[in-house]
Amino acid sequence: MPEARVISRQDDAVDPPVHLQIGGLPATVMSRQDAVAHMVSDCLAARSRRYPSPKLVFASNGQVLSLAARDPSFRAMVWQADYVQADGAPIVAASKLLTRISLPERVPTTDLIHDASRAAADAGLGFYLLGATDDVNAAAAERLGALYPELRIAGRQHGYFDGQDEDRICAEINRSGADVVWVGMGQVREQAFCIRNRERLRAGWLITCGGCFNFLSGAYRRAPDWMQRFGLEWLHRMVTGPRYLIWRYLTTNPHALYLILTRTKRDLISRDMKIVERSREIEV
């Protein structure tokens, strides 16, 4: 996979993000390299307490667009993110056809976690892995450690816990000194965890990552490179993944296409607009 540039400790001044609206949700205009630069900058700023709370980093794809259109509370969660990465190829394609500024590329967490690991190792940042089963989580941590020996895995925790365990887990994350918390617990639950605990976690980034740990551990297989280039990774997952994915893609993809065609704005949206939209959704 292509590598993002490694960011040094001194390279922590980055331009503020700008956003599009695609399919009714924000999409941050950033490449994988941009995302890595923001991660390092934000985490170093969080260490110096220049930011009062972690940045929320969510992703948008066809499933997320469809869920958000049907669930106002989930839509409100996504609008609260500081960055919404274009995980799905249709999001990037829509920006090229329907907006004045194109998204530079997909930013899937399955690739970004490798870019981020290289940069984190160089900058001395630590990761906390939260989600998946304990076996998958342990295998993902072991894989990252093998690939990036200088990366500090500050801690890990499987995603099958009750609400009563949340206080303990948040305290553990804070004790670990993790700068980036990767949260892979499935759509809605992972965003809700990040928002609910944002004010008490002392990390720089809370980033949702869906099934990323399953790919890292080898439980799931990535699509061939040619399918990724043509935006067909969803088809590979539908054919090779769990059977429930067939129904998900057959129902959410047409809905997402409709949303892209009817709820995309041509121009950039301002941070003020994100705040207005967020407030409007929360009131629903």
Split at pLDDT 50, 70, 90, the class of 7 is very low
- The encoded tokens of residue 91 equal 């999001």
The torsion angles phi and psi of 97, rounded to 5 degrees, stand at: -95, -30
Looking at the chain, how many residues does it have?
A: 284
Rounded CA-CA distance 141/184 in Å is: 13
Is the pLDDT at 277 greater than 70, yes or no?
no
Q: Which residue has the higher pLDDT, 237 or 73?
A: 73
- The encoded tokens of residue 258 equal 């409709």
Tens digits of residue pLDDT in 19-31: 999 999 999 999 9
Tens digits of residue pLDDT in 118-172: 999 999 999 999 999 999 999 999 999 999 999 999 999 999 999 899 999 999 9
Tens digits of residue pLDDT in 215-242: 999 877 766 776 667 676 766 566 666 6
Half-sphere exposure of 223 (CA within 13 A, CB side): 17
User: pTM for the whole thing?
Assistant: 0.87
- Average per-residue pLDDT in the chain? 88
Split at pLDDT 50, 70, 90, the class of 8 is very low
Half-sphere exposure of 156 (CA within 13 A, CB side): 20
